[in-house]
Structure 1
Amino acid sequence: MANNNDNTPQKEELVSVKAEQDATASPSESSNKTQQKKASGNGLLWFVVFVLFVLILGMGGAGYWYYMQQQSASKSAAAAQESAISQINTIERERAEISTSLERVTETNEKLESMVAELKAQNEMLTLQSESTLEQIKNMEGRRPADWLIAEADYLVRMAGRKLWLEYDVRTAILLLVNADKRLKSLADPSVLPVRASLAEDIQTLQQLNQVSQSSVALALTGMIAQIDKLPLDTFEKPVDVNAQDNALSESTDDWQENLGKVWRSLVDDFLTVKSLEGPIEPVMTLEAQFLVKEQLRLQLMHAQTAALQGDAGLYNQSLQYAQTLLIEKFDIDASQVSGFVNALQNLLETDVSRPIPSELVSQKPLERLLDSRVKQVFGQGASAL
């Protein structure tokens, strides 16, 4: 650094010397020198321009190379980014599938845990039921086996209801109720007295019903239907002889002449009789008409039979009255068979076939409650089949 500072005054002196020499030189020389300086300055300028152009070309090439490198790098980066995105999407799908599988496995696990819990609860319940059953079996030794008679009484009451409402058999229903009361009576238990009172009420109600056997009435009508074909029909009505003479003899002696004429006419009439009859003559019934009349009578009796079995007193009486009208109008009422038939119909008309059957039995519900408290609580659901 010290040497450079020392040489600086010397250079300044040299420059000043050259300037003085140039000032003392001739004008031609100065012009030549000026042209030389211009030529050297132009060359230097062209050299600088060339160097700048080369530098610009180098910088452009370097820039283009750098641009191409950047484009290649960006393409590679884009391809790498797309590949990374594809891999990420693939990983996301796999993760979603794995998550779904995990959820399914979790749900299955939860279901299995729920099933296991239910099975445990059922196992505990069965254990409790078995323990309760064992306890009931132990306690059954102190129970009275006669409690089964309550179930028998309930069965008999149910059968009485079926006989009453399905078959209209009042007598059998009464017998079944009486047997049910006997079962409860054999228990010798005061707690069943209210049920026995209900049974007695049902028995009394049924006994107050009409005791006429509907089946007996139906059988009687069946026998009458079988006799219809044997009944004679009134097929001809003989007109009255208005010109008929009275041949009765008078008891007075003054009428001896009339009596003699009457005796003579009666003797003559035994050999030959000629009479003149006047009046409407009804024709004989055809076979079709006779068949229809008998079928009408048979149909009415069958209607009465059905009504008797159903306890329909209105239809029963109506059918018998129409049948009685047919007998009087179409059959020979003077015949003993027809008159007996009419009398039998009149007897059936006087028979009351109505039977107001009660809609329910009073003893059924109390007996069911007694059965629940005395039998079903001990033996569980096994007694529900009774």
Structure 2
Amino acid sequence: MTDKKNNSQHAEAKPTKGIIDSPDSVTKESKPASKTGVITGAVAILLTLGLGAGLYYHSHQQNQIQQQVMATLQAQLQEQKDTQQSLRLQLSENNQTIANQLKQTTQQVTDIKESEKLTNSQLETVQLAIANLKMRNPNEWMLAEAEYLIRIAGRKIALEQDVDTSLALLSSASRRLTQLNDPSLLPLRKVIEQDIATLTKLPRIDHDGLALKLAIQAEEVDNLVLAGLTRPDIIKTDKELSSNSSDWKENLTKSWQSFSANFITIRRQDNSVDALLSPQTAWYLTENLKTQLLQAELAVYRQDQAKFKLTLKTANAWIKRYYDVNQPATKAMLTTLDTLKETTITTTYPSKLNSAALIQTTIRDRKINSLANNTGAE
């Protein structure tokens, strides 16, 4: 063991001595180490490049994958948007279609209801016609006649204010119902009597008579005499003297009259005298007075009480101011106008008779009841 150790020590000491002793030997020994470092560096560089390339390739692949994923997601999103838009349009079209169908259905329901009303009305008309055919007996004819008389009476009072004719018609209708001797018609007869009582209380106004009186007064205006100075009547005398001596008294009278005619005669006028009107003014006055009387006549037909009194008052004032009130024609006209001015020309007439609606309802109910009874009997 000792020998081997020594030998190994000697062996290890020799290279040291050799390296120290010979520089060339050092150079020769360091060359293999340099090549190994270069190779190691190259390998490291290659590894680095490979790793970088691998990382770049991996990153590039990841980017492409992400882009593809993004493109796919965007396509799916756009597809979803298009699908939603299509669904919205379809939903809107469905709503519009439903609205149109609902409108058509509503219109159809309305048409059906109108058709039902028309059908019911036609059916009722047919039933009433059948009832009319089945009720041809004297009693029903008398009831229909009474209805006609009441309807004419209502027109007379509403349109013509003819109270007397309306009363006569209502009385005739009441007699028709009395002849029927039907207790169920007592309420109708009561209403007719109430209408008769209402018409009886109305004042009787003869509008036609009043209008005729005013028309006559308008014609009499031309006969009125205007107030003012009047010339005395000229007495025509025979101024020729007789040649007979026995007529000396008559000749003396004629001579005196001829002599006195040249003197001024003074006459006394007790009433006041207005200035004389010119012929043109007098004509306008006459025509305006006629117009006032004609307006009063028109107010009678229109039943305008205020206008009637005003026109007569104006005519009365004009006559007293411009015409001779001492003349008989003037006095008569003033008396007539004063009487007419106090006349009432208007009143309130009923627009319809209560018995008119009641008798129509009564006839209708009787027809329906008769039809129902005949149908039940069959």
Q: Are 2:360 and 1:368 equivalent residues in the alignment? A: no
Q: Which amino acid aligns with 2:218?
A: I
**Matched residues in 2 for 1:41 and 1:60: separation?**
29
Q: Secondary structure, in 3 states, of the residue corresponding to 1:227?
A: helix
Indicate which of 60, 73, 88 corresponds to 1:96.
Answer: 88
Q: Which residue does 1:158 correspond to in 2?
A: 154
**Matched residues in 2 for 1:131 and 1:55: separation?**
110
From the superposition, tell whether residues 377 and 115 of structure 1 become closer, same or farther in structure 2 (CA, over 3 Å): farther
Q: Which residue does 1:86 correspond to in 2?
A: 78
Q: Are 2:67 and 1:61 equivalent residues in the alignment? A: no
From the superposition, tell whether residues 168 and 81 of structure 1 become closer, same or farther in structure 2 (CA, over 3 Å): same
Whether contact under 8 Å (2:150, 2:170) holds in the other structure is: no
CA deviation profile, 1:175-226 (whole Å, cap 9, x unmatched): 44445545545554443221122122133223xx245x22122113213322
CA deviation profile, 1:72-101 (whole Å, cap 9, x unmatched): 333333333333333332222222222322
**Matched residues in 2 for 1:122 and 1:303: separation?**
54
Q: Which amino acid aligns with 1:97?
A: L
From the superposition, tell whether residues 357 and 131 of structure 1 become closer, same or farther in structure 2 (CA, over 3 Å): closer
**Matched residues in 2 for 1:364 and 1:136: separation?**
25
Is 40-49 or 167-176 further displaced after alignment? 167-176
**Matched residues in 2 for 1:153 and 1:34: separation?**
164
Give 1:149 shift: 4.3
From the superposition, tell whether residues 130 and 36 of structure 1 become closer, same or farther in structure 2 (CA, over 3 Å): farther
Alignment of 1:139-178 (within 5 A): 145-146=140-141, 147-149=143-145, 151-163=147-159, 167-178=160-171
Give the paired residue count: 331
**Matched residues in 2 for 1:92 and 1:346: separation?**
101
Q: Which residue does 2:247 correspond to in 1?
A: none
Q: Which amino acid aligns with 2:353?
A: Q
Indicate which of 250, 253, 257 corresponds to 1:270.
Answer: 257
Whether contact under 8 Å (1:153, 1:183) holds in the other structure is: no
Q: Which residue does 1:225 correspond to in 2?
A: 218
**Matched residues in 2 for 1:117 and 1:328: separation?**
79
From the superposition, tell whether residues 277 and 199 of structure 1 become closer, same or farther in structure 2 (CA, over 3 Å): same
Unaligned runs of 5+ in 1: 1-15, 240-262, 380-386
Q: Secondary structure, in 3 states, of the residue corresponding to 2:201?
A: helix
**Matched residues in 1 for 2:26 and 2:7: separation?**
15
Q: Which residue does 1:357 correspond to in 2?
A: 347
Whether contact under 8 Å (1:301, 1:319) holds in the other structure is: yes
**Matched residues in 2 for 1:115 and 1:306: separation?**
56
Give 1:135 shift: 6.3
Q: Secondary structure, in 3 states, of the residue corresponding to 1:41?
A: helix
Q: Secondary structure, in 3 states, of the residue corresponding to 2:347?
A: coil
**Matched residues in 2 for 1:184 and 1:17: separation?**
176
Alignment of 1:1-386 (within 5 A): 22-23=11-12, 25-29=14-18, 38-114=30-106, 145-146=140-141, 147-149=143-145, 151-163=147-159, 167-182=160-175, 184-185=177-178, 187-190=180-183, 191=185, 192-206=188-202, 209-211=203-205, 213-237=206-230, 269-273=256-260, 274-277=262-265, 285-310=277-302, 316=308, 319-320=311-312, 323-324=315-316, 326-327=318-319, 330-331=322-323, 338-340=327-329, 342-347=331-336, 349-351=338-340, 353-355=343-345, 357-360=347-350, 364-375=353-364
RMSD of aligned Cα (Å): 4.4
**Matched residues in 1 for 2:345 and 2:264: separation?**
61
Unaligned runs of 5+ in 2: 233-249, 369-378
Q: Which residue does 2:242 correspond to in 1?
A: none
Whether contact under 8 Å (2:316, 2:334) holds in the other structure is: yes
Give 1:49 shift: 1.5
**Matched residues in 1 for 2:7 and 2:252: separation?**
224
Whether contact under 8 Å (1:160, 1:176) holds in the other structure is: no
Percent identical across equivalent pairs?
Answer: 15
Q: Secondary structure, in 3 states, of the residue corresponding to 1:272?
A: helix
Give 1:355 shift: 4.4
**Matched residues in 2 for 1:370 and 1:54: separation?**
127
From the superposition, tell whether residues 269 and 160 of structure 1 become closer, same or farther in structure 2 (CA, over 3 Å): same
**Matched residues in 1 for 2:320 and 2:334: separation?**
12
Q: Which amino acid aligns with 2:285?
A: V
From the superposition, tell whether residues 59 and 370 of structure 1 become closer, same or farther in structure 2 (CA, over 3 Å): same
Q: Which amino acid aligns with 1:195?
A: V
CA deviation profile, 1:279-322 (whole Å, cap 9, x unmatched): 89977542123213323432332243234445566765665465
CA deviation profile, 1:312-364 (whole Å, cap 9, x unmatched): 66765665465455445544566xxx514532542453355314523426x72
